[in-house]
Amino acid sequence: MENELEQARPRALGEVGRRVQALANELLKEIGNTWDENKLDRIRENGRLLVEQAEGFTIANQEQYMAANEFFVSIAQYKKEGTAFIDPIVEVAYMPHKMVCDIRTEFETPANKAKAVMETKILAWKEAERKRVTAEQARLDAERKAKEAEERRKLEEKARVEREKSERERREAEAKAREEREKAEKARREKEEAEARARRAEQDKRAAEEAERRAKEAKEVAEREAREAEEAGRKA
């Protein structure tokens, strides 16, 4: 036991190492004063016998069952004896362990605090980066939507211009066709009127010729009758 404690002495340098070393030396002396190798051997032997007794137990009836329950008292007594022997030594041995653990905690506290600070800053950066990326994505989405809207507006404007152009050309074509129809209708009417005038002129000409012919015939009849009357007068 003493050799194991000697091997467990801290090797740290400086004031902390010297403090732990001094405490360990004092504890080794105290343990050495209270250590009873013969008592320890006796407790170990009692433990071995206790296991042999437990392994040799046979429980096949009520009496054996009652004896088995009573055997737990022997187990408790053995455990109490061993605890009474080793607990003071454990308590003494625990003191340098606790001291070193406290020093380890003292060393670890700045590291843990620094780690917590860095983790907080990293988390803050991650959150800020997440917000930045989200904002950037929102900006890009807004730009994309604005660009798409502008493209749609241009396409709609182009379509509107083309529709207006087509409508204007349609109206112009209809107006031109209407004008051509009106011209054709006017020409047709003028032609019909000219033809009507020509027919009327022809009819007037024929009527005049007919009147002239009739007048001539009437004149000839009158002249013939006049001559006949004159001859008749001479004969009479």
Structure tokens at 113: 């605090």
181 vs 190: CA distance, rounded Å: 14
158 vs 152: CA distance, rounded Å: 10
Three-point CA angle 185, 191, 196, nearest 5°: 125
Specify the amino acid at residue 17: G
For the chain, the domains span 2-117
Tell me the Ramachandran region of residue 120: left when phi exceeds 0, alpha when psi lies from -120 to 50, beta otherwise. alpha
Find out whether 47 and 82 touch, Cβ atoms under 8 Å: yes
How would you label 59-75 residue by residue, b for 16+ Cβ within 10 Å and e otherwise? eeeeeeeeeeeeeeeee
Residues contacting 170, CB < 8 A, separation 6+: none
203 vs 70: CA distance, rounded Å: 164
pTM of the model: 0.37
Q: What is the pLDDT along the chain (236 residues), one digit of tens a residue?
A: 444 444 444 444 456 556 656 665 666 565 555 667 888 889 899 999 999 999 988 889 899 889 888 999 999 999 999 988 888 877 777 777 787 788 778 878 888 888 899 999 999 999 999 999 999 999 999 999 999 999 999 999 999 999 999 999 999 999 999 999 999 999 899 888 888 888 888 888 888 888 888 888 888 888 888 787 777 777 76
- Among 103, 102, 121, which residue's Cα sits nearest to residue 12? 103
81 vs 43: CA distance, rounded Å: 8
